[in-house]
Amino acid sequence: MTKRAGILVAVGATVAGLLTAAPAPAAATAASTPPAPKPKWTDCPTDSYPTLQCAKVRAPLDHRRPSGRQITLALSRVPHTAKTFQGPLLVNPGGPGGSGLSMAGFVASSLPKKVAAQYDVIGFDPRGVGKSTPALDCLPGHFDPVRPDSVPDSARSERINRDRAESFARACGEKHGDVLPYMDTVSAAKDLDVIRRALGSRQINYFGYSYGTYLGAVYAKLYPERVRRLVLDSVVDPDDVWYEGNLGQDQPFDDRHKAFAAWVAKNDAAYGLGTDPAEVEAAWYRMRAALAREPAGGTVGASELEDTFIPGGYYNGYWPYLAEAFAAYVKHRDAEALVEVYENFGAVDASGDNGYSVYTAVQCRDAGWPEHWSTWRNDSRRIHKKAPFMTWNNTWYNAPCASWPVAPLEPVPVNNRQLLPPALILQATDDAATPYGGAVSMHRKLKGSSLVVEEGGGNHGITLSGNDCLDEHLAAYLTDGTVPRGRGEADAVCAALPDPKPLPAEKAAAQSVDNSEGSRLHGLLGFRR
């Protein structure tokens, strides 16, 4: 995941148990845990979310030393309005490195009003992110264009990319060496428990997308008795943290790129790039080769082109905008169109620098990575032969972990056979960022969980994005804990939404992404995980 700069979505500025009729869940905490000061909520409304409130809580940098150095965690809240109060619902957009402050407003406004009104919907910036302090920013401008071509054609070009990755890792150690040992998922999960205590709640409800599913599963492993409801959407495979998981994305993203090419071919009347998907895909790679030689507008080279089209693997709602710029360049050598779509979908701003810094800090610390660069090289070469769209781009994105200045930890085994209430797991079969097998694995590890599948869906992040069938399961679960029960691998199956239709050329060229539920959600989730 990295937060891209300019996706034009209409969102506000960032700033399981039984149904209860009590005014709030009991404020009991374990005797061994210190009390946490209550957050001081202040109004921080936006045009989109006028009831949003903000606060900060303090947490130990090192949870083994609760009285030692403290960090701050930025929170947001849309408070409940119903007499029936089901407690706090913590929401997370993924990453690691995603800011969650706007997620509170999005989730509260996207759920059925009767359901949302029963929860305090709580967004938060995890440690190191956004408005939490200290916020990481290892090497500002690391993604500034034009970067070296991601696909090495010589030992020298490979060395150039390795040097960039090593420079980033070294800069992180020099700038944030005092914090990096505590940037990991277990520490972030323990922060959630600090938030729980500060909210005065015996249990939390949790709703996470993407990497947020892993964060939620780790919290549930550490504190199963403190979980009331657990929603996991687009699920990280807990057995592949993190090197194997990133390798596992490359083929599915190539498949999604082929699906995009097939969609462009199907809509040849709009784009004029041919009716054969293979021909369309070949035209894209010819465009890539041309940009490697001469970047469009001096800005969009081969690596920037990949960055621009990778979001289409996360959300097909971006396809009409990407296709319009693709066709404009291929047919008219329109560099301006490519630069604009890059700025809207591929460029990395200051929040993206922060997000990538946290992404690397957490993933590099969470688990071990190959010690020898030959392993990275050989795996990348092998996969690139079959899946050239994103393989090397993904390799360099994670390559700082090959020389990270802090030793890795052992991943947490998230299997949970006791105490945990039924969890609701939702997954699209063709999700590239978190492939389907990860959801099946998580379903098997969480006793009593229920798996709802979007058959044929390829988007990453599938609830609250326009699929009524999925949203009905989510609403039922948050209302009274109801989960579907089936006899097969999946407990319930929903049909995927249809692919988008081409937009009028002038609207697509304007790159003004519509205000649909899917666009709003995916503008918040960002990319990578």
210 among known catalytic residues = yes
What Å distances lie between residue 184 and 13, 190, 207, 373, CA to CA? 27, 10, 19, 23
460 among known catalytic residues = yes
The burial class, CB within 10 Å (0-12 / 13-18 / 19+), for 148 is middle
102 among known catalytic residues = no
Exposure of 184 in the CB half-sphere (CA atoms within 13 A): 22
Scanning the structure block, which residue is given the tokens 């919907």? 121
238-270 in b/e form (b: 16+ CB < 10 A) is bbbbbbebbbbbbbbbbbbbbbbbbbbbebeeb
Q: How far apart are CA 386 and CA 527, in angstroms?
A: 23
CA-closest candidate to residue 464, choices 256, 237, 233, 236: 233
What Å distances lie between residue 271 and 261, 335, 336, 512, CA to CA? 11, 17, 17, 18
Residue among 184, 237, 431, 491 flagged as catalytic: 431
The burial class, CB within 10 Å (0-12 / 13-18 / 19+), for 73 is buried
Q: Which residues contact 102 (CB under 8 A, 6 or more apart)?
A: 11, 12, 13, 14, 15, 46, 49, 76, 123, 524
Helix (H, G, I), strand (E, B) or coil at 3: coil
Single-letter amino acid, residue 399: A
Residue among 102, 210, 449, 519 flagged as catalytic: 210
| C-alpha torsion sign, points 104, 106, 111, 113 | positive
The Cβ of residue 41 has, within 10 Å, a number of other Cβ atoms equal to 14
Q: Are 395 and 306 contacting, i.e. CB atoms less than 8 angstroms apart?
A: no
The Cβ of residue 83 has, within 10 Å, a number of other Cβ atoms equal to 10
| C-alpha torsion sign, points 340, 342, 346, 351 | negative
Residue 272 sits at the vertex; the CA angle it makes with 269 and 273, to the nearest 5 degrees, is: 130
What is the token pair recorded at 52? 């949003």
Helix (H, G, I), strand (E, B) or coil at 322: helix
Q: How far apart are CA 493 and CA 497, in angstroms?
A: 13
Scanning the structure block, which residue is given the tokens 């070296």? 148
* Helix, strand, coil share (%) of the chain residues, nearest 5: 45, 10, 45
Residue among 384, 443, 460, 473 flagged as catalytic: 460
Give bridge partners of residue 148 from the DSSP assignment: none
Q: Are 431 and 457 contacting, i.e. CB atoms less than 8 angstroms apart?
A: yes
Q: Catalytic site residues?
A: 210, 431, 460
